[in-house]
Amino acid sequence: MKSLLYFLCGLLLLTACKRNRDEGMDIPPSITSFWPNSGKAGTIVTINGTGFNRKDNEVTFNGATATVLDVNDTVMTVLAPASGSSGKLSVKTNGKELEAGSYTYQDLSVRGASPLNGPAGTNVVILGEGFSSINAPAKVLVNGKEATITSVNDTTLIASVPVSAGSGTIKVMVDGKEVNGPAFLFQNISKIKPLKGGKGTQVTITGEGFNAVAANNAIAFNGKAGTVISATTTQLVVATPDDVATGPLTVTINGQKTVGPVFTVIPPPVLATVAPLSGPAGKDVTITGANFSSEIDENNVMFNGIAGVVKQATDKELLVTIPVGAGTGNMKVWVNGQETGGPQFKEQNLGVASLSPDNGLAGTTVTVAGIGFSTNPADNIVTFNGVPATVLSATATTLEVTAPATVSTGTVNVKVNSLDAIGPVFRHAGVMTLAGGPGTGMFVGTTGLTGDRNGNLYFLQGQQVQKLSPDGIVSTYTGGTVSAHQDGPLATALFQNPRTITTDIYDNIYVLEGIGQRNYVRKITPAGNVTTVLTILDNLSGALAVDNNGAIYVGKMYQGVYKSESNGSLTKFSSFPHTVPDKMALDALGNLYYAGGDYNNPFIVVAPASGTSRYLCGSVFETGFVDGNGPVARLGSPLCTVLDPSTGNIFFVDNMNMCIRYVTPSGTVKTVTGAGGTFDSFKAGYKDGTLTEALFKNMNGIHVDRSGNIYVLDQYNNAVRKIFVK
């Protein structure tokens, strides 16, 4: 008996618990929408809401009871009753009576629509009845905005979702009658951030119509699938895939694709300089390089694991405030999720921020800017690439120093008491006069410049080939005071109107000479023997070049460039009929480069296989002084081309702009030195010093040695100048 009582008590307790649990889970019933809101008897009506009872539901159309076809917690489908009439649609469920709205009995009805999501331009197929009219065309509205109908008959409409429609009900209007259909979810991408990055970059997509379940949104970067990290109806956060490619970002939901902005793949950030490399918290550091973001919040800079504050940002420079607690440790830069390691930074009260100038030769006065210097010059120990320099004057933020006699390229460091600070790189670069100068009377009537592997330079003067040794001594190499054509040893060889000089890779010297229609190319071997290697009975320009196989290239007046064959004949090499003025350059692939001179300002390249000429940079019709890529660059009287074998760059003199410039094989023009560091045309003069200070005047010869040093025959200044750039 006692066991039976225990069983009954347990059963009552279990029943009470179940009842309480079910009651706690009850959701008050409500109706959010129904469609269609018109139709004939037998039309299927879908009612959306919450808290519906799965049993004992009663639906009436203006008092007439309808047949309930199916029901769950949120959706109920019913048939419009035959005995119904236009009026209120009511639902009784869970003991509560709800009004859904008004239902109209009429011929116009919507049975369904597909797709029910997508961007502007999506073609929605609407099925129903009563769409045809002989009075006026049917109209379709999406969220109140009229769509473009592309096809219609009595039971089918195809409509294009309008721009900026937004999400809302699909409505069909025919002959003054209207019917509401299902809701359309409008998809749109308003922006993505960032617009650039690489693999693993987290991209935030802002818009509307997204699915709040992350897995239901398919994101692709130019067709490469990304990973959705989080999702709301208005924002998605997505990680780019490892094989991310530049192209449009797309969001696909329920098979409907929305196309967004282009995501551009860029490499990780590149750090060129960080200055200063030490300093106290609160001071600023300038980082130069490439692939930064111009959006401040897309750049993150860490000092030994502590975040700095990025104050300004461009794609090539960041200005960052040193954080408290940076200590001593390596810097790191993240741009849109891509990381690059940086140099070691010290949080201390001593730092070197900049050098002015940042290049020069021995004896150059340099202003070192920074913080924490001693006002007593003797307390500041300054070194250029490890070599001590003389400190002329000092304040707490600037030091005036003299570059040491043995200055070489390297960092400028400062030591004050127990603190050391690493500064920016000072380049051993600048211009010096190797021989001659204004008033010396040297190099009068000279032209052309070339050199051998021992550092000797050669140029033409009168009927002679002159030699300039590495220590600046000028001597006659070969040729006499009379004009004649005579081969033989250096001591007896004679030349007739020599006008262009060049060398090959074996240190053979070639001289173009002649008068009228009788011209010669002479070869001078390192052993000192002069021979005639080519005779041309035609009017020649000053063009001359020799390739690695010994083939000679010359130019005919108004006919372009010709190449010598093994039998001594000439074949047309270029497709342009230019009159090339002087020395040309050849690269290892056999591409021929020449400058246009006074009357043809572009730089021209001739491809060896096809002989097809093309403009590498500059403008045919416009002179100027502009560095830049290809046709953007502007030149003025470019002359005297020479190849730097270590870089592949082609150097030349620009006499209108009084400067030395070079063009890369891809066509980018840059100025090395001249015009006093300005881009002012015709700024001529004579001045040695830094690359930005130097001045030149009417140059007519250039040579680049194996170390990358540049030599210029500066005839109007009676000098040969040497330019250090490395």
pLDDT of 365-376, one tens digit each?
A: 999 999 999 999
d(CA 592, CA 605): 6
Secondary structure letter of residue 582 according to DSSP: S
Predicted confidence at residue 23, as pLDDT, reads 40
> pLDDT confidence of 362, banded at 50, 70, 90?
very high
Averaged over 502-523, what is the pLDDT?
96
d(CA 510, CA 546): 8
Domain with CATH 2.60.40.10 in the chain: 30-105, 109-186, 188-265, 270-347, 359-428
**DSSP symbols for 107-171:** S-EEEEEE--EE-TT-EEEEEEE----SSS--EEEETTEEPEEEEE-SSEEEEEPPTT--SEEEE
Averaged over 213-217, what is the pLDDT?
96
d(CA 712, CA 564): 29
Domain 188-265 is of which CATH architecture? Sandwich (2.60)
Predicted confidence at residue 16, as pLDDT, reads 41
Asked whether residue 168 carries a pLDDT value surpassing 90, the answer given is: yes
The domain over range 30-105 is classified in CATH as 2.60.40.10:
yes
Of 145, 137, 139, the closest CA to residue 169 belongs to 145
Averaged over 160-180, what is the pLDDT?
95
> pLDDT confidence of 11, banded at 50, 70, 90?
very low
Averaged over 46-61, what is the pLDDT?
92
Averaged over 422-449, what is the pLDDT?
95
Cβ 633 vs Cβ 642: under 8 Å = no
Predicted confidence at residue 470, as pLDDT, reads 95
Fold classification of 359-428 (topology level):
Immunoglobulin-like (2.60.40)
Averaged over 409-418, what is the pLDDT?
96
- May I ask the CATH class of domain 433-724? mainly beta
Predicted confidence at residue 21, as pLDDT, reads 39
Averaged over 557-570, what is the pLDDT?
91
Other CB atoms within a 10 A radius of the CB of residue 698 amount to 14
Averaged over 620-625, what is the pLDDT?
87
Task: List, in sequence order, every residue forming a beta bridge with 19; answer none if it has no partner.
Answer: none
Averaged over 319-332, what is the pLDDT?
96
Predicted confidence at residue 7, as pLDDT, reads 42
Cβ 602 vs Cβ 595: under 8 Å = no
Averaged over 445-458, what is the pLDDT?
96
Predicted confidence at residue 102, as pLDDT, reads 95
Asked whether residue 17 carries a pLDDT value surpassing 70, the answer given is: no
Q: Could you tell me the two tokens for 652? A: 């030349």
d(CA 40, CA 106): 6
> pLDDT confidence of 598, banded at 50, 70, 90?
low
Averaged over 599-616, what is the pLDDT?
83
> pLDDT confidence of 600, banded at 50, 70, 90?
low
d(CA 141, CA 147): 6
Other CB atoms within a 10 A radius of the CB of residue 70 amount to 11
Predicted confidence at residue 10, as pLDDT, reads 45
Using alpha carbons only, what angle is made at residue 459 by residues 457 and 464, rounded to the nearest 5 degrees? 125
Of 76, 85, 121, 78, the closest CA to residue 105 belongs to 85
Q: Could you tell me the two tokens for 354? A: 């900049």
Asked whether residue 2 carries a pLDDT value surpassing 50, the answer given is: no
Of 643, 648, 705, the closest CA to residue 434 belongs to 705
Cβ 156 vs Cβ 172: under 8 Å = no
Pairing of strands 168-174, 156-160: unpaired
Element counts in the chain: helices (H) and strands (E)? 1, 71
> pLDDT confidence of 134, banded at 50, 70, 90?
confident
For the chain, the average pLDDT equals: 92
Predicted confidence at residue 13, as pLDDT, reads 42
Cβ 136 vs Cβ 204: under 8 Å = no
- State the amino acid at position 486 in one-letter form: Q
Predicted confidence at residue 43, as pLDDT, reads 94
Predicted confidence at residue 269, as pLDDT, reads 95
The secondary element (H helix, E strand) that includes residue 460 is: strand 457-461
The domain over range 270-347 is classified in CATH as 2.60.40.10:
yes
* Residue percentage of the chain with pLDDT more than 70: 96
User: Strand ranges (DSSP E) for 296-348?
Assistant: 299-303, 306-307, 309-313, 317-321, 328-335, 338-347
Predicted confidence at residue 599, as pLDDT, reads 62
d(CA 289, CA 291): 7
d(CA 605, CA 591): 7
Predicted confidence at residue 610, as pLDDT, reads 78
Using alpha carbons only, what angle is made at residue 693 by residues 689 and 699, rounded to the nearest 5 degrees? 85
- For 124, counting Cβ atoms within 10 Å of its Cβ (0-12 exposed, 13-18 middle, 19+ buried), the class is buried
Q: Could you tell me the two tokens for 50? A: 């919450």
Averaged over 138-160, what is the pLDDT?
95
CA 535 to chain centre: 51
Q: For the segment 253-305, what is each residue's pLDDT rounded down to a tens digit?
A: 999 999 999 999 999 999 999 999 999 999 999 999 999 999 999 999 999 99
d(CA 178, CA 295): 50
Q: For the segment 223-250, what is each residue's pLDDT rounded down to a tens digit?
A: 999 999 999 999 999 999 999 999 999 9
Asked whether residue 88 carries a pLDDT value surpassing 80, the answer given is: yes
Of 607, 577, 578, the closest CA to residue 595 belongs to 578
Averaged over 145-153, what is the pLDDT?
94
d(CA 284, CA 370): 11
Cβ 405 vs Cβ 412: under 8 Å = no
Cβ 343 vs Cβ 302: under 8 Å = no
**Dihedral of the CA atoms 376, 377, 380, 383 (nearest 10)?**
180
**Dihedral of the CA atoms 99, 102, 103, 109 (nearest 10)?**
-120
d(CA 546, CA 567): 16
Other CB atoms within a 10 A radius of the CB of residue 184 amount to 24
To the question of pTM greater than 0.75 for the whole model, the response is no
Averaged over 324-336, what is the pLDDT?
95
Other CB atoms within a 10 A radius of the CB of residue 636 amount to 20
Asked whether residue 133 carries a pLDDT value surpassing 90, the answer given is: no
The superfamily (CATH) of domain 109-186 is Immunoglobulins (2.60.40.10)
> pLDDT confidence of 5, banded at 50, 70, 90?
very low
* Residue percentage of the chain with pLDDT more than 90: 85
d(CA 638, CA 515): 25
Using alpha carbons only, what angle is made at residue 555 by residues 554 and 558, rounded to the nearest 5 degrees? 170
